[in-house]
Every structure is written in structure tokens, then in C-alpha cells.
Amino acid sequence: MKKYVIGAGLWLLSLGWTTAQPTPSVMPLDQAVQRALQNNKSIKLADSRTLAAEARAQEAKDRSLPQANASLAYSRYSLTGPFAFGQGSDGKALASIPAGAFNATIGGATITKEVFGGFAEKSAELSANLLAKASQLDAQRNRSELVYTVTDAYYNIVKLIRSTSVIDQNIRQFDEREREAQNLQKEGVVTANEVLKIQLQRNNLQLSRLQVEKARQTALYNFNLLIGLPDDQVITVDTTLANPVVTAEPLSNFLGQALQSRPEVQANALRVQSAEAMLRNTKSSMYPHLGVSAGYNYINPTARLIPEGSSFISAWNVGAGLSYNIGSLYNMKGKLNTAKTAIDQASLQGQQQTDQIRSEVVTAYNNYQLALEQQNVIRTAVGQAQENYRLTESRFRNGLVGSTDLLEADSFLLQAQLNVINATVDAQLAYQRLLKATGHNL
């Protein structure tokens, strides 16, 4: 009795442990995309670059503010003779220092501002702001690339899981077929060699099953890294496959949308404007510069922190200055050519990017149309493969054909079933690639 009680207790413990294991929840594609956008390291790096560009823009803005300086210094002086400063109405010095050593505190504050610097400050600030906006668009492009990468990886897992199901179904059918062939062998309808061929084909399917399973495990591991989940976290994906909406828009519409919506196009336009602003900044050295300043100076030649009224000197001043770099008349040629070359390079990069976008849109559009047309052909092929297999299996049972014909018909059917899965996934990915090429939010 004790043995049964212990056995029942162990069974209950094992049942409790089994039910306690977390069941992996299905992660929809949109949830996987959101996780990737939050956790992906490349996106965080792109955001960091954007913050750095915004910080440089703020630096340029800060440099246009008035500059203020203040100083306070303490010194001890040793004089070789008496010192007097100024003369009052009574003929006596306003401030005098006898011979010997004395303490002195000297302080001052100055505020300066360049009123006109050849538009250097404004152009530098404009260039930095444009580059910051371009960096934001680069980050947007990186997000679009990541969304498609996650989508591609997600549907690749779906493809592997659905393929595994088809192969498992075929293995079960081969188990049943092997039993039928063995019965037909006993009746003398088929030979032992025919049964051996069926067993060999079943083993080949098992090898394919192992390869697909390992590919699925690898894909899931890499998918976790891509969306920022722990390596050992078990997830499942939604294996529902649906055909995307059939597009009826002409190619010209997609090309127009891409050239208006792609962040790369907008970023390149901003970089051209930034290069033009930097050219104006370079030319600023060829203009005269006007600045104003205001200051206050204080000298206390005593050791007292708060001196007597007649023992310290203070003065304030205001001024304006005009300067001109004469060297800009002859030493600016190289800098100007460099700035102009930067504009040309940015413009050419924009044109090159436009050509690449056009090519990408045309390729994505044609691949999507091809994927839709292939689906129609493959569906027809599946029906034909099923009918061919049904007829061949019936003839095999009646001993009219050998196992070679049956295995060939089964191979055609299996390939057709796998082609359906691949074609449906490829159509989804082709549609997503077309959306990315036109700059739509995936």
C-alpha cells in the first residue's frame, strides 16, 4: 500500500511540475516589431547619433549668445617707492600707497557680443539644425529597415514551421503506406524491394525534418537577438498565412510616392541646404566684423575685504570695435572651393540615392506582381499533384505500377505543398518590401 501511495505522490508532483511550466504565448508580428524598435541596439545607436547632432545644433546656437567673463584675483605687492593715483581738488592724491608691501584684490567683468560677423553665426546655426533634422530622418530610415528585417525573419520562421507540419504529415502517410505495402507484399502484389524503397523515402523525409527543425531553432535564436529578448526565451509565432491586398495602382504612382516619402530623399535635400549654409559661413570671413563690449574693473589695494571709500579704484567701460581680415582677400580660395565641392558632393549623393530608390521601387513592384502570378500557377499545380497522387496510389494498390511511380507522385505532391507555403510567404514579403520601397510606414 505504501508503494502505491508513494507512486501516486510522485505522479501528482510530476503533474504539478508539468502544469507549472509556462506555455509560450503567441507573439504577433506587430508586437515583435514594437519590441525590436524598443530594444534593438542599432536603433539605440541611431538615436544616439541623433542626440549628438541635436547637441551640436545647440552648441551652434549657444555660440551666438553674448559672451560674459568675470575674474577676481588676490596678490601681494612689494613697492620700491610710494605710489599715488589721481589728484583731488585739495591737491592731495585720490589714492596713495606708501612704500613697502601691500595686498591687492583685482576683479573685473566683461560682456561682449558680435553684432555683425558676415552672417557666420546664423549660417552655422542653420547648418547644424539642418544636419540634426537629417539625422532624425536617418533614424527613421533605420527603423523602416528594422521593421522589414523583423518581418522577413518572422515569416521565415512561419515558413519553417509550416514546412515542418507538411513534412510530418507526409511521414505519417509513409508510415501508413509502409504498412499497406507490407500487407501487399504478403499477398504477393508487391515485392520486398518496393517496400524497401518506401522505407528509404521515409528515412529521407526524416532527415529533411531534422534539417528544417534545426533551421527553425537557429531562426528563433536569431529572432530573439533581433527583437531584444533573452536567448533562452521560448516564443511562438502566428503561422496564419493570408494573401496581401492585390495592388491595382500603376508603377508611376509608387515611384512618385517613393520620391516624396522616402526619408533618404528628404535627408539628402537637407544635407545640400546644410552645405550651402556652410558656404555662406566660409564667406563670412570676407566681411568686416563689428562687436560691442561692456566691462567693469575693480582694484582694492588694501587687505580689507570691504575697503574704505577712498582706498579702492573702480571703473566701467563700453566700447565698439570693427575688424577686417585683410588676408581673406587672397587666402580664401581653398576654403571656398572646399565648401563648393561639399555642395556638389551632397547634390550628387542625392541624385545617386534617387536612382537607387527608383531601381528599388521597380524591382519591388515587379517582384510583387511576379509573386501574385506565381501563386495562381502553384495553386493549379497543387490540384494536379493531388490528382496525380490519387490515381497513382490507386494503381499501386492494384499492382499496376511499382513503388517508384508512387514515390515520384508523392514527391511531386510534397514539393507542390511546400511551394504553396513559400509562395504565400514570398508574396507577403514582396508586399512589405514594396511598402518599404515607397516609404510607407510598415
Do 220 and 146 belong together in one domain? Answer: yes
45 part of a folded domain: yes
Shared domain check, 393 and 305: no
* End position of a domain, from candidates 323, 347, 378: 323
Contact 433, 367 (CB under 8 A): yes
70: left (phi over 0), alpha (psi -120 to 50) or beta: beta
Residue 213 lies in domain: 24-65+117-288+332-437
**SS3 for 441?**
coil
User: Along the 442 residues of the chain, how does pLDDT read in single tens digits?
Assistant: 444 434 444 343 444 434 444 556 788 888 889 998 888 888 888 888 888 988 988 888 888 888 888 888 877 767 656 666 666 666 676 666 666 666 778 888 999 888 887 788 888 888 889 999 999 988 888 888 899 999 999 999 998 988 888 888 888 887 887 887 788 778 777 778 877 888 888 888 889 889 999 999 999 999 998 888 887 788 888 888 776 666 668 888 889 889 888 898 999 999 999 999 998 888 888 888 888 889 888 777 766 666 665 566 778 888 888 888 888 878 888 888 999 999 999 999 999 999 999 999 999 999 998 888 888 888 888 888 888 888 888 887 777 887 778 788 888 888 888 888 888 888 888 888 998 898 876 5
Please name the residues in contact with 384: beta carbons below 8 A apart, sequence gap of 6 or more.
416
Burial 29-57 (b: 16+ CB within 10 A, else e): beebbebbbeebeebeebeeebeebbebb
Whether 224 and 362 map to the same domain: the answer is: yes
**Does a structural domain hold residue 90?**
yes
The C-alpha cell that represents 33 in the structure block: 516589431
Domain end marker among 275, 303, 323: 323
Question: Amino acid letter at 133?
Answer: K
- 353 and 397 in a single domain? The answer is yes
- On whether residue 7 sits in a domain, the answer given is no
Considering the domain architecture, whether residues 211 and 174 belong to the same structural domain is answered as: yes
Q: Determine, yes or no, domain membership for 144.
A: yes
Task: Report yes or no: 227 and 39 within 8 Å, Cβ to Cβ.
Answer: yes
Is 13 a member of any domain? no
Which among 323, 343, 367 is the end of a domain? 323
**Residues comprising the chain, all counted:** 442
End-to-end CA distance of the chain: 65
In a domain, 154, yes or no: yes
Q: Give the pLDDT of residue 357.
A: 92
17 is a domain residue: no
179 and 56 within one domain:
yes
- Measured between alpha carbons, how far is 144 from 435 in angstroms, rounded to an integer? 10
What is the 3-state composition of the chain as percent helix, strand, coil, each rounded to the nearest 5?
65, 15, 20
374 and 426 belong to one structural domain: yes
Write down the pLDDT at residue 5: 39
What integer pLDDT is reported at residue 81 of this predicted model? Answer: 61
What domain count does the chain have? Answer: 2
Q: Are residues 88 and 129 in the same domain?
A: no
pLDDT in tens, 62-100: 888 888 888 888 777 676 566 666 666 666 766 666 666
**Pair 92, 195 in one domain:** no
| Within a domain: 16 | no
Half-sphere exposure of 260 (CA within 13 A, CB side): 6
**Cβ neighbours of 135 (radius 10 Å):** 22
Residue 423: the pLDDT is 87
Distance (Å, whole) CA 62 – CA 411:
72
Q: 323 by DSSP, 3-state: which?
A: strand
pLDDT for res 122: 87
Q: Do 125 and 160 sit in the same domain of this protein?
A: yes
Tell me, yes or no, whether 314 and 393 share the same domain: no
* C-alpha cell recorded at residue 56: 551640436
pLDDT score for 356: 93
Do 301 and 171 sit in the same domain of this protein? no
Q: Provide the CATH number for the domain around residue 235.
A: 1.20.1600.10
Beta bridge partners of 100: 79
